[in-house]
Chain A
Amino acid sequence: MASSSTDSTPFEILIVEDEYLIGMELVQILEDSGYVVVGPIATVSAAVATIERNAPSACILDVNLRGEISAPVADCLKAKHVPFFLSSGYKQETINQEPAFSGITNIGKPAKPEQLVSALDLLLKA
C-alpha cells in the first residue's frame, strides 16, 4: 500500500492513457493503493490543459495517444516539475529518439500492479 493514505493530503496522480481498459485498470490499482486519480486523459491537448490548470503530484504517461506522440505532455510535466514515468509498449530505442523522454523511466505496458505502485512510491519520495 502506498504511503499516501497516511498523509494529510493524498497524492494526486494523473493518468494519461488512451487505451480504455488499460486506463481502467490503472485507475483501479492506484485507487486501491490510496491515491487520488485524475484521468485517464486520452489526448495530448487535454493532458497539457489539465497539467497547466492544476499540476498533479505525479503522472503516468503513455507515449502514443491516438497516434500522437506525447512529447508535449512530457515537456509540460518537466516545466511544472511534476515527476512522471512512462507506461509504454514501445522499445527503449524508439522512446530514446524523442528528447522529451530522455532520462524518464518506462515501466512497460502492461506493468504488474505491484511494480507500478512501487515505482510510483519511489517517484514521490524522490
Chain B
Amino acid sequence: MTLEELYRLLRSGHIQTQGIVDTLHEPLIVLDKAFTVCNANPAFYRTFGTDMDGTIGHSLFELGNGQWDIPELRMLLSDVVPKASAIVGYQVNHDFPGLGERSMCVTARQLAIPGNNSSQMLVVFEDVTDRQRAEARKDILIAETRHRMKNLIATVKVIARQTEVAGVTGAEYRDRFLGRVDALLIAQDFISASGANADLAALIDQCLSPVAGERTDLVASPAVSLSENQVLPLSMILHELAVNALKYGALAGDGVIRVKWNTELDEGSRRLVLQWQEVGGPPVAPPKHIGFGTRLIDYSIKAEGGSAIFHHDPEGLRVEITLPIQQ
C-alpha cells in the first residue's frame, strides 16, 4: 500500500465517520480525560444554541454557564475512563438557557483507541422531555378513564338501589332499572358526541323516542344549548316523565306528549322554560306515593337552581320546568 492509498483510505474512513456523527439527531460530544470538549456534532450546537468556538477546547462543566456542572454527573463521568465503565441513560433535569425545563438522558462511554494512550469519552445527550410528558399525559388519561368507569358503575349501583322494589315483580323491576340505565347511557353518549354544546331539541328527541316512539310532538322552539352538567339531569327527568306517561298518562291511552320551550330573562340571567303537556290520555290524578322519579326530579331541579311545577289537569299532566342556562 502506497502512502497515497493509505491516506485515501484514512480520509474516506474519516469522512464516513464524520458524516455519521453529523447526521446523528442526538447531540454528541467527545471529551478528553480532563473533560475538555475535543469534538461536537451540529446537533449539539443546534440543541444548546452554541457554536464551535464556545464549545471546543472548553471543559464540559464550563459550558453554558456551568449548566452541566452537576456533582453526580461529574462523579459518574470521572469513573468512565479509569474503570472503562459506561453511563447509560443518566437523567439530568435542568432549566437550560433558551431551552427551558428539559430532561436529558446522558449516555457516556470510553473511546478506546488501540495503541493510543489518550483516553477519550463519547457523550450523547438525548432530550426525553417530550416523551416523558407524553407518558405522563397517557398515565393521567388512563387514571381518568378508570376513574370515570368506576363512577359510572357507582352511578348504576345507585340506580339499582333507588329503583323501587316494593309491590313490583322481578320483571317490572328489571325493566324499570334498565330503562334508567339506558337514560344514563343516552346522556353519556350525548355528552361525548356534543361536548359543551348539547342541543336541547336533540336531547329531548333521543330521551323520549325509546319510550314514546313517534308519539311525541316537539313544537318548534328556539335553539337552546345546555351545559355538559345539565345533560344527565335533564335526560333522567325526561325519561321519568315519559315512563310515567306510558304507565299512567297520555301514552297509556292514545295520547301524545307535547313538548315546547322558550327562554326568558330573569333578573339578568337567562333561563329555560320547558312545557311538558300530555294530551289525549286518560284522566290523571296526582301520584299516591313519592318514588325515585319524583325525588329525582325534585333533586335535579333544586341542584340546578330551577323549578318543576306539576299540574294534574284532568285532560292530561302538565309540567313546567325552569332551568338556568348560560346564554
Interface residues of A (CB under 8 A from B): 19-25, 27-28, 40, 42, 64, 67, 89-90, 94, 109-110
Please tell me if the beta carbons of A19 and B151 are within 8 angstroms of each other in the complex: yes
Contact, CB under 8 Å: B296 / A24: yes
List chain B residues, Cβ under 8 A from A110.
154, 157-158
Whether B155 lies near A21 (C-beta < 8 A) is yes
Is there an interface contact between A20 and B144, defined as CB atoms closer than 8 Å? no
Cβ B303 vs Cβ A21 within 8 A? no
Q: Is B155 a contact partner of A89 (Cβ separation < 8 A)?
A: no
Q: Which residues of A contact B229 (CB under 8 A)?
A: 20, 42
Contacts A22-B154, A89-B151 supplied; 19 other A-B pairs, CB < 8 Å? A19-B154, A20-B155, A20-B236, A20-B300, A21-B159, A21-B232, A22-B151, A24-B303, A25-B158, A28-B162, A28-B295, A40-B303, A67-B144, A89-B154, A94-B143, A109-B154, A110-B154, A110-B157, A110-B158
The 7 A-B pairs with the shortest beta carbon distances in the complex, nearest first, are A89-B150, A110-B154, A21-B158, A25-B158, A21-B155, A24-B299, A20-B232
Report how far A110 CA is from B153 CA in the complex, Å. Answer: 9
The total number of A-B Cβ pairs within 8 Å is 51
Query: In the complex, which residue of chain B has the Cβ closest to the Cβ of A62?
Result: B151
Alpha-carbon gap, A19 to B156, bound state (A): 11
CB-CB < 8 A to B299: which residues of A? 24, 27
Residues of B within 8 A of A24 (CB): 158, 295-296, 299-300, 303
Please list the residues of chain B having a beta carbon within 8 angstroms of any beta carbon in chain A: 143-144, 147, 150-151, 154-155, 157-159, 161-162, 184, 229, 232-233, 236, 295-296, 299-300, 303
Residues of B within 8 A of A67 (CB): 144
Partner of A64, one of B147, B236, B295: B147
Contacts of A20 in B (CB 8 A): 155, 229, 232-233, 236, 300, 303
14 contacts between A and B (CB under 8 A): A19-B154, A20-B232, A20-B233, A21-B158, A21-B236, A23-B303, A24-B158, A24-B299, A25-B162, A40-B303, A64-B144, A64-B147, A89-B151, A109-B151
Q: How far apart sit A90 and B140, CA to CA, in the bound complex (Å)?
A: 13
Q: How far is the CB of A82 from chain B (nearest CB, A)?
A: 22
List chain A residues, Cβ under 8 A from B150.
89, 109
Closest residue of chain A to B150 (Cβ to Cβ) is: A89
Among B154, B159, B162, B296, the one with the most A-chain Cβ atoms within 10 Å of its Cβ is: B154
Known: A27-B299, A40-B303, A42-B229. A22 touches B147 (CB 8 A): no
Question: A110 to B295, alpha carbons, bound, how many Å?
Answer: 20
Nearest chain A CB to B161 CB, angstrom units: 7
Q: Which residues of A contact B158 (CB under 8 A)?
A: 21-22, 24-25, 110
The interface residues of chain A lying within 8 Å CB-to-CB of B184 are 21
| Min distance, Cβ B156 to any Cβ of chain A, angstroms | 9
CB nearest to A25 among chain B residues: B158
